[in-house]
Each structure stands twice: as structure tokens, then as C-alpha cells.
Structure 1
């Protein structure tokens, strides 16, 4: 089938790709009581996105949330819905890929096909879909929907098959499957990207990785140390080989970039240790432990970053499973280069305050990545 995704920077020439994660939600990617944490005001989101767009970052990736984590900080209690968020940001930007995160149990394939085609036209081929099969039942209680933990990825794969067939075009079709019984399926317009917009999925469990190997162009997975990368990539590549596909693997990172290492580490300690929302972390561990398939030992590994290993402190205000990029511009550029050397194709990044901190990252870290050959200069339009 014809493939044309030339406008989507997710498939662009930069060897190591970068994007903004979770800025549509208050708290962003931190479980911290720090008063200077991200508030997710629309004007700030728009301004930050324009900076990322001008700097040549590859993507904006929002989180679909329907209720807060039940800690003192109540992070994610305020969030912007991702399809409307994507359409709005798409109209404000020129080059960055705009992803939308869709919960399979809540959105029909036909609705998602129509919505994603709309955003792909708004962005002239820069839309992307992040497929989430669901993990926190309390969020779905708000909609009166029950997640089948054993079948959620089977459900998600059938959903993807319908969604992608719709956007691939062709005559109307009926669908008689395990989870969907649908009549006279069609959509118009089709997406600009052919055969459909870029697809990503986050997979931590074995079933999640197998799903991504079948449906996604990009798999996001949790990594907290460089030493974990070879083993994780080896496991993921086994799933790809079994499905006869090759996809890019990304992780997610939290950035604290300061002129000196001491400043960066003290600030990280301030919001991630001193101001940590322990109740929010406990809620996360309890709810997430039902979905990863390996119990609390697997959840505990999400906290084993270099700061925890060096000090014994949990740094619980940093999001579980996020790779901490903490240090000077040289430190952070070096760690990103090491990620690339180990085989990762990119990472998402987050900040305690995105709008306040991203200019320094753009000014200091991106030129270092260019000099290292990981990224090229922003092309003139």
C-alpha cells in the first residue's frame, strides 16, 4: 500500500527525535506538591508549543485523563481532551507532529477515523494517534465502561484493524468481529498521510509490547537507567521479529537542565523528593499494579533511577518510569547521545514548568545535539 508521510516529522531525518509529553495536564509529568509545578493554562500550552515548533522538535504528545490521581497534589485533575487539543494546536503550528491520545474503550473506530482525518487535514499531514487500551478502571467508571484486563489488547488490536481499514479507503464494508459488530463502514475525507496517520503505543507489559509490534510505528516504553536499554530493546525486537515488523522505540524523560550540575540536582531533589506527593504515588502503584502483569516488583523497578540507587531516596515526585535527565546542558546532551547509541530512536521530554524551562533546553541542549550529529538544524520554510 502507498505510504506518504513526508510532512510528519516523526519520520524525518533527525537520528534522535524529541517531543513534549503530558503538557495538556496539570502537573505535567510530576507528582509533586511544588507550588511552581505546571498549571496547564491554555495560553501557556500554546506558547510552549510554538517554541517547540520553532525549535524543530518532532512531536507534541498529550495524555488522555478523566480524573486526578488521588494524592494531595491531585495531578491530572485538570486536563485538556486530546482530540480537540490536537486540532487547536495543529492550527497554531507549522511543522511539529501533533498526536492525539485515544482510549479504545471510549471512542469508536469510525469516530476516531473521522477525527484523525480532520486533524491530519488541519495540519497538512502532521497528525498522529496514540492508542491506549486503558489501565485505570476508576477513570472508566466515570463513563460507565468496564475494562477487561485480560482482553484489553485484543480489543485494541481489533479497534486498530477497523480504524486503519477505514482510513486506507475503499468500498464500504461490514465488520463482524469478537468485539465489534458494525455495518456499512466508510469515512470521508481520508487522511493526507497514507495509508493512515502515524501510530504510537505505550507498552510496558508483554501484551502491550506485542500489540505495539502489530499496530504501531513507535513504541514508548519505560526506562530509568541506561543499563536497562539493551535488555529491553532485545525483548521488544523479539516481538517485532515474531510479527515481521520493525518499529522505532522511544522512552519518556523528565528534564532538569541548569548551568551547573549542583543547581540541577538540588532542584530535582526539591520537587521530586522534598515536595513529593507520596499519596499520589501510592495511588499510582496500587492502580498500575493490576495491569503490568508482574506485580509490585515490576512497579518498584520504575523507581530505580540513578538518584534512587545512589541515595536510597525515592524521588517520588518524579513520574514512575520516567528517565531523569538532570544536569548541565553537556550532561543532558551526553545522556541523550548515550540513549541513541544504545538503540533508542528518541524520547519525550517534560519539565516541572514547561514554558519557563524549555527556552534554556532549546538554546543550550539542541545545539549540542546538532554538533554530536544526532539532529540537524531547523529547515527554513
Structure 2
């Protein structure tokens, strides 16, 4: 194992859970409903503490520099993720605090020091979600062109971070993307040799990158059973590198006492009240540049993009949602992220009603 064993991602629960995207307005949704997540700091800390007390494993932010247009311009209001993780480290005790970092936008020497800072502030609970970038509008904000071989750059970037953490003396780095002199950096992180890493890749080059740089891959699917293919593929690629990479998925949740109530609300916020211009823009950019979903996802599942950025919908009663998670575990997923229209309003019901069912199913310990 390459990481500190006390990290929550290596904890005892068979099926792990993380709260995703609460650092940005709207969360993962592109909706106009008045109760959409405002991403106020006071409410973010409240949800973080709630998730921590309930024993969830991780808090995962999205890295966004620009909104997605339309009426709401969702995700324009978002907190930078290294400082976000450092701040949440101070108000939580057990839960992992991840940072999501765009390789081209943030220099590896800076990331190495910032991430080590979070790891010390959290006593070994830091994590890094490495994103090689897909959004040309955000690249343009930084005066960058979007290059084809982004994963090649990502591997150089990752190697530099790793070397800073393990080098016993200053080193020079001569690569295609980085030419660095006399590099060093203390303190090393609490986790040795480095904090836990994630990557959300769908394309073959992306999965090759994850096989070398990630401890866990996050992937999407249109149907749970179809998850077997990316899990098997990822395991094979990791094995070729002499590594084991766990595979997670990502979901948006509407959990209500009755199935009809949950489905009615999903239809309301993700269809009737969808920010249609924003959905068009987001889906167009994703399909053209990100390669993060199955091809038919864009055609079949517009509602899923308005409802939760194209992630899998968990819509229904606590029993239905628990059953779906059992199926995910059976297919081979190590866990999932969850997101809501409003985290503060909706997470308590999920924790109170779904967690006991997952415990009963043997997926989580009490």
C-alpha cells in the first residue's frame, strides 16, 4: 500500500461514500429551482461536519474557474480547492479532505507544498484529485492553449510532485513540459510517500494515466451493469503497472419517503426547471473536449446532465437507493460520491435513512 493506513479511503467500510461538488453553486445541477445549492461558506462547513459525524469517507470538490452560462451561470461561484480543503481540515476530525487540481493551471512545485500543508493541517487526511483539464474557456482564462497530450503533461507534473516528497536532496527536472532547477520542498506530507490520489478518466489514455498516478479511478456509466467493463479495464491497466487501483462511481441523489415523490421532484428540477441554455453549453463542451462519458449518454440522458452533470441518478426511497448501491458494490465499485440539489436540506434524510440499510446489507459498519 502506498499510503498512510489511517486515511479514510482505506477504512473498514466495503462501500465508501463521499460528498461531491458542494464547493460550487448549484453543486452538480444545472437547475433554476430557488432551493438550488448557494454554496454559502457557513452551510458548507455545516454539511462537512454532518458528513464527518456520520462517518462518510471523503469530501470532494470540483475545480471550476468559470460558470456554464445560461440563466444561472452555475459554478461561477466556486471555492478554490486547496484552500477549501485546508479550511475544512480545521472544522472536521475524521473525514478525508480532497483538493481537485487542474494540471495545466497549477504548477507542481506549488501543489506539492500546498498539498503537504493540507496533509499536516488535517493530520494525514488530505487527498489529491488530479485533473488534466478539458474546458477550453477555462484554459483561455489562464492564457493557455489546450494541448492534445494533456496526460503526458500530467505524468511529468505527477512525477515532480512525487519527487519533491521523496527526494533527499535538491534535483533538476528536464522534461517536455517542465524544466526545473534545484527543486526541493519541506515538509514532506504526513502520508508516505504521498497523499491519496484520485483521477476521473474515461478515455484509454486517461485510464493509462490513472493506472500510473491514481490510487482510485472515478468513472461514469449509463447503467450499473455496464460498470463491469471500465472496472475490469482499469484493473488490467493497473496490473500492468504493478499497481492496484480501486474504482468509484459518482451519483446524484433524490431521496424521499416515496418513489413517486422522488421521481416527481427529479422531473421538476432536472426537466421542468432545467437551465436549458446552460445544459446545451455544458453538454456540448463535455462531448467535444472531455471524453468523460459513454457516447450514448449525451443522446439518451439530457436529464442526467441537468440533474447531476451526467452522473448516475439515485432517485427514490431509501430502500431503492440502498439496493442500487448494493448492485454497484456487486459489480465491483469501491464506493460512490453523492450530490444533491441542496446538501444541507437533503443530506440529513439520506444519512438517517440510507446508512442503516447499507449497514444491514453489510456494506458499512455501524
What TM-score does the superposition give when structure 1 sets the normalisation length? 0.92
Residue in structure 2 matched with residue 83 of structure 1 by the alignment: 82
1:98 paired to 2:94: no
Are residue 253 (structure 1) and residue 251 (structure 2) matched? Answer: yes
Give the structure 2 partner of residue 236 of structure 1.
234
Name the residue aligned to 1:72. Answer: 71
Match of 1:356 among 341, 345, 349: 345
Q: 2: CA distance between counterparts of 1:18 and 1:145?
A: 35
Q: Which moved more, 1:167-176 or 1:179-188?
A: 167-176
Q: Specify the alignment match of 1:108 in structure 2.
A: 107
Q: Unaligned regions of 5+ residues in structure 1, if any?
A: none
In structure 1, the residue matched to 2:320 is 331
Q: CA deviation at 1:365?
A: 0.5
User: How many Å separate the matches in 1 of 2:2 and 2:223?
Assistant: 35
In the alignment, structure 1 residue 365 sits paired with structure 2 residue 363: no
* 1:304-351: CA deviation from partner (whole Å, max 9, x where unpaired): 4xxx5xxxx745521343110011111011100110011000100000
2:49 maps to which residue? 50
Partner of 2:297: 301
In the alignment of these two chains, the number of paired residues is: 366
Distance 2:267 2:341 in 1: 12
Counterpart-to-counterpart distance in 2, 1:66 and 1:72: 18
Matches within 5 A, 1:1-381: 3-148=2-147, 150-292=148-290, 298-302=294-298, 304=300, 314=303, 316-377=305-366
What CA deviation, in whole Å up to 9, does each residue of 1:19-76 have, x standing for no partner?
A: 0000000000111111111000000000000000000000000011111002222110
Counterparts of 1:43 and 1:192, CA distance in 2: 28
Instruction: Could you tell me which runs of 5 or more consecutive residues in structure 2 were left unpaired when the two chains were aligned.
Output: none
How many angstroms apart in 1 are the aligned matches of 2:56 and 2:315? 19
Cα distance change, pair 9–65 in 1 and its aligned pair in 2 (3 A): same
SS in 2 for 1:289: helix
User: Cα deviation per residue 1:6-29 (whole Å; 9 max; x = unaligned)?
Assistant: 231011111000000000000001
- Distance in 1, matches of 2:234 and 2:195, equals 23
Distance in 2, matches of 1:115 and 1:25, equals 21
RMSD of aligned Cα (Å): 1.7
3-state secondary structure, aligned to 1:154: helix
CA distance in 2, matches of 1:144, 1:162: 23
Distance 2:179 2:125 in 1: 31
Task: Measure the CA separation in 2 of the matches of 1:205 and 1:118.
Answer: 32
1:224–1:302 contact (8 Å) kept in structure 2? no
- Mapped to 2, the partners of 1:298 and 1:349 lie a distance apart of 20
**Matched residue SS, 1:131:** strand
